[in-house]
């Protein structure tokens, strides 16, 4: 084996060195490279294709529910940022500032957007005049910069990252709540139906909500190393931003009223969760829903069978492409089939077709699934139809494995020692009764670097939205008689503790 062949494979172990393994998969599978500035990455075409797949799904769902795309400047004047005090306090340590343009000092510092409420809200104020202008829904696909002081990791945590951020204004609190839960449901749908990752839904504790928000809700995904990923957030902002930026409207009775606003966002952290969840020690593993290439066809021939095998493979490739399958026929000379198998496994192609003289003679195709190497033989005449079944089977295998992992890693505890011991030994989520005091979380965080990643909703988000449209806030689950696992005071809610990315 050549040095190039040795370099192709993954050398780190997902089980024993997950951080090093993850970084190696990201680079060797051609998703990203490190930029010359620390904390930034260069996204390669295969990595960007994953973001495009996420974008295509979400963008369609957003537009189906009344959202229009727009774009706002990446620079935010300092006085705009300061108009909502919680934004300033919440993001100030992470803001990158521009103080000079060309050779001239700027009259006012410009923030490189850490989030866009402060630049979008003033325009919502201009565009909203009457109740007839509501609801107003805009979204932008862009990048933001947050000058993270913590250790960075490609896609999971970088100083610049890609995301979408939606911003809406509504006439009533109930309508804003319905919007908030609708977007959470769409994020849930993305993870479960597109990325093959089951998620939990809940809200952040008050001390960890978005600066200036009334409530922050999130979807949380469990990674194989036992850490949680905040997969997407939806914020009910109440009237704080509307008050700060004068977003008011004339109601039907001609009275001037203050709007209610929301914001919601999902970043390319979803790519990190995707890679970490499904990939293995052979390299990248992708669900067919987002894989840039869903099927690779590898011909296996000797000189006397080459023409027949390649013609057979090319015809199958053309049929699959006509069926809308993203297929690649790997007819490269100079690379043997074993090398090609390894390379396409490293790159995460979900299904491989192997075609040799025996397949040609018997009018068959050997089909191999990437996640587990399962191999079956299909009739040539049915392959264009059967390929979709194979793609569905691969997706189900990935989802089921992730669902089993989640089910096995949600544990309960009713005292501090059990919380610490369970997370320390097993990772995953620990459910515990909690009084709601931030100091109790701080005790756990100080000792084991775990935090409250969510508080479950009283019902699922769709039911909650329906109830709140009726003007009824859904209560938290009943904790009558339970004590806080940390301080022993009366518990008021359930907290999910976990280490997180």
| Paired sense of beta strands 136-145 and 68-69, if any | parallel
351 has pLDDT over 80: yes
452 has pLDDT over 90: yes
Q: Which residues of 77-116 are buried (b: 16+ CB within 10 A; e: fewer)?
A: beebbebbebbbebbeeebeeeeeeeeeeeeebbbbbbbb
Give the pLDDT confidence score for residue 373 in this predicted structure. Answer: 97
Q: How confident is the model at residue 434 (pLDDT cuts 50, 70, 90)?
A: very high
Q: How confident is the model at residue 53 (pLDDT cuts 50, 70, 90)?
A: very high
Nearest partner of 448 among 226, 269, 231, judged by Cα: 226
Q: Which domains does the chain have, with CATH numbers?
A: 31-278 (3.30.930.10), 295-406 (3.40.50.800), 410-498 (3.30.110.30)
Query: How many angstroms separate the CA atoms of 82 and 131, rounded?
Result: 28
- State pLDDT tens for residues 307-332: 999 999 999 999 999 999 999 999 99
Q: How confident is the model at residue 358 (pLDDT cuts 50, 70, 90)?
A: very high
Give the pLDDT confidence score for residue 83 in this predicted structure. Answer: 85
199 has pLDDT over 70: yes
- State pLDDT tens for residues 242-276: 999 999 999 999 999 999 999 999 999 999 999 99
Query: How many angstroms separate the CA atoms of 455 and 206, rounded?
Result: 10
Give the pLDDT confidence score for residue 479 in this predicted structure. Answer: 63
Which region holds residue 212: left if phi is over 0, alpha if psi is between -120 and 50, else beta? Answer: left
Tell me how crowded residue 315 is: count the other CB atoms within 10 A of its CB: 12
Q: Are 182 and 268 in contact (CB under 8 A)?
A: no
Give the pLDDT confidence score for residue 86 in this predicted structure. Answer: 74
Helix axes 383-408, 306-322, angle to 10 degrees: 70
Query: How many angstroms separate the CA atoms of 284 and 273, rounded?
Result: 12
Tell me how crowded residue 343 is: count the other CB atoms within 10 A of its CB: 20
Instruction: Report helix, strand or coil for 400.
Output: helix
Bond from prior residue into 135 cis (ω within 30 degrees of 0): yes
Give the pLDDT confidence score for residue 150 in this predicted structure. Answer: 72
Q: Are 446 and 419 in contact (CB under 8 A)?
A: no
Q: Which residues of 422-448 are buried (b: 16+ CB within 10 A; e: fewer)?
A: bbeeebbbbbbbbbbbeebbeebeeee
List CB contacts of 109: < 8 A, sequence separation 6 or more.
77, 78, 97, 98, 99
142 — phi, psi (to 5°)?
A: -160, -170
Query: How many angstroms separate the CA atoms of 325 and 391, rounded?
Result: 10
395 — phi, psi (to 5°)?
A: -60, -45
Q: How confident is the model at residue 90 (pLDDT cuts 50, 70, 90)?
A: confident
List CB contacts of 431: < 8 A, sequence separation 6 or more.
410, 411, 412, 413, 494, 495, 496
Q: How confident is the model at residue 82 (pLDDT cuts 50, 70, 90)?
A: confident
User: 151-160, 218-227, 376-385 — which is least confidently predicted?
Assistant: 151-160
Give the pLDDT confidence score for residue 326 in this predicted structure. Answer: 98
170 has pLDDT over 80: yes
**Percent with pLDDT over 90 in the chain:** 88
Give the pLDDT confidence score for residue 460 in this predicted structure. Answer: 42
Query: How many angstroms separate the CA atoms of 86 and 78, rounded?
Result: 14
Q: Report the mean per-residue pLDDT for the chain.
A: 93
DSSP-assigned beta bridge partners for residue 76? 111
CA 17 to chain centre: 23
DSSP-assigned beta bridge partners for residue 425? none
Query: How many angstroms separate the CA atoms of 321 and 352, rounded?
Result: 15
Q: How confident is the model at residue 85 (pLDDT cuts 50, 70, 90)?
A: confident
Could you tell me the pTM of the whole model?
Answer: 0.93
Q: How confident is the model at residue 466 (pLDDT cuts 50, 70, 90)?
A: very low
Q: How confident is the model at residue 464 (pLDDT cuts 50, 70, 90)?
A: very low
What is the chain's length? Answer: 501
137 — phi, psi (to 5°)?
A: -130, 120
The answer to whether the Cα torsion of 266, 272, 277, 283 is positive or negative is positive
Query: How many angstroms separate the CA atoms of 231 and 228, rounded?
Result: 9
**Percent with pLDDT over 70 in the chain:** 94
- State pLDDT tens for residues 370-402: 999 999 999 999 999 999 999 999 999 999 999
DSSP code of residue 114: S
213 has pLDDT over 60: yes
Which region holds residue 286: left if phi is over 0, alpha if psi is between -120 and 50, else beta? Answer: beta
Give the pLDDT confidence score for residue 6 in this predicted structure. Answer: 46
The arithmetic mean of pLDDT across residues 330-344, rounded, is: 95
126 has pLDDT over 80: yes
The arithmetic mean of pLDDT across residues 141-161, rounded, is: 90
């Amino acid at each position: 084996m050549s040095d190039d062949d040795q370099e192709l494979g993954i050398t780190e172990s997902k089980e024993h060195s997950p951080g090093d393994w993850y970084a190696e998969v990201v680079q060797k599978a051609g998703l990203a490279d490190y930029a010359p500035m620390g904390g930034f990455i260069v996204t390669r075409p295969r990595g960007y294709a994953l973001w495009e797949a996420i974008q295509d799904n979400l963008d369609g769902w957003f537009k189906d529910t009344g959202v229009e795309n727009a774009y706002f400047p990446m620079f935010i004047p300092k006085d705009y940022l300061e108009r909502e005090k919680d934004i300033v306090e919440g993001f100030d340590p992470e803001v990158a500032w521009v103080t000079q343009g060309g050779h001239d000092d700027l009259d006012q510092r410009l923030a490189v957007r850490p989030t866009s409420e402060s630049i979008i809200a003033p325009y919502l104020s201009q565009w909203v005049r009457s109740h007839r202008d509501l609801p107003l829904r805009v979204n932008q696909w862009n990048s933001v910069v947050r000058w993270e002081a913590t250790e960075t990791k490609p896609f999971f945590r970088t100083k610049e990252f890609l995301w979408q951020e939606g911003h809406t204004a509504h006439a009533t609190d109930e309508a804003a709540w319905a919007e908030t839960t609708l977007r959470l449901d769409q994020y849930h749908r993305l993870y479960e139906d597109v990325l093959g990752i089951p998620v939990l839904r809940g809200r952040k504790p008050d001390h960890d909500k978005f600066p200036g928000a009334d409530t922050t809700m999130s979807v949380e995904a469990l990674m194989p190393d036992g850490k949680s990923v905040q997969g997407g957030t939806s914020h009910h902002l109440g009237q704080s931003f509307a008050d700060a930026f004068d977003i008011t409207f004339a109601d039907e009775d001609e009275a001037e009223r203050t709007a209610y606003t929301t914001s919601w966002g999902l970043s390319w952290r979803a790519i990190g969760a995707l890679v970490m969840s499904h990939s293995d020690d052979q390299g990248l593993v992708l669900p067919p829903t987002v894989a840039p290439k869903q099927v690779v066809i590898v011909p296996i021939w000797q000189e006397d069978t080459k023409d027949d095998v390649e013609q057979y493979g090319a015809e199958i490739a053309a049929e699959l492409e006509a069926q809308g399958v993203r297929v690649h026929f790997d007819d490269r000379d100079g690379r043997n089939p074993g090398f090609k198998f390894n390379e396409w496994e490293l790159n995460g192609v979900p299904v491989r077709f192997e075609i040799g003289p025996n397949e040609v003679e018997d009018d068959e195709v050997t089909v191999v699934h990437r996640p587990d190497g399962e191999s079956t033989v299909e009739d040539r005449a049915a392959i264009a139809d059967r390929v979709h079944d194979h793609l569905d089977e691969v997706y189900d295998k990935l989802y089921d494995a992730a669902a089993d992992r989640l089910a096995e890693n949600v544990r309960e505890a009713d005292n501090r020692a059990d919380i610490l011991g369970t997370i320390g030994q097993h990772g995953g989520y620990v459910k515990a009764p909690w009084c709601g005091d931030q100091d109790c979380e701080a005790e756990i965080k100080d000792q084991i670097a775990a935090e409250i990643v969510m508080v479950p909703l009283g019902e699922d988000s769709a039911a909650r939205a329906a109830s709140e449209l009726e003007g009824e806030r859904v209560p938290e689950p009943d904790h009558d008689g339970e004590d806080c696992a940390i301080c022993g005071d009366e518990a008021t809610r359930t907290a999910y503790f976990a280490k997180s990315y």
